[in-house]
Amino acid sequence: GRVIRGLVHYNVYWWCPWVKYLGFVPGTREGATHLLREGFVSACLPGGSREAMVGHENAYTVFWDDRCGFAKVAQESKCDIYPFHAVNMEEMKFNIFFWWWNILGLSTLFWWIVERLPKTLRKDLTTVAEGIWYWLSYCSVIVPVKVVDVLGDPIKYNEAETPEELACICQQRLQDLIDKYQGRRCRNIPLALLDRIEGLIYQNVDT
């Protein structure tokens, strides 16, 4: 089979150089194009830090803004795009810092401030926030929820589409996939744990 190679933010690659031993490469267009031409499957998260820090109330809402770099790579490489979602992935861990951050509404306040800053200051502030968020994420406790991987139908290469149009199509297709299999936009650990319990009950009944 074809090996999946993940793309990560260059800051993460710099902070944690050992991720290269797990098959990750810096998330550049050149790197992604090279992987595809070498026959690998390239996996990426177009939302990046914005989606990661958007808040628990929007945990399953796709936030890509106007990002279309991945679409440009797909068009140049003439390859299909497969939307992917892992059901209950946001509930796989509990972090007391992130919990309080969301309870106090600081995630909403943070992005409200960021959007009103000059572009240079906006980049500096988000870079610092990404670093803090990344290292605090190691303080998480694993939650044994049920996780189900869902691979959507391929979005076929179409030379008539612009990268911007393709990015919009991908965003909508991914959101539709999430809405269909996740059933909610917010993070909810009790419901995710209930999925695990129901799965164990049905497994015992079947056996």
Average pLDDT of 39-61? 87
Q: pLDDT tens, 158-188?
A: 999 999 999 999 999 999 999 999 999 999 9
| pLDDT > 90? residue 199 | no
Residue 145: is it exposed, middle or buried by C-beta count within 10 angstroms (0-12/13-18/19+)? Answer: buried
Q: pLDDT tens, 129-154?
A: 888 888 898 899 999 999 999 999 99
- Full 3-state SS string of 3-71: CEEEEECHHHHHHCHHHHHHCCEECCHHHHHHHHHCCCEEECCCCHHHHHCCCHHHCCCCCCCCCCHHH
- The reported pTM is 0.88
In whole angstroms, give the CA distance from residue 154 to residue 173.
10
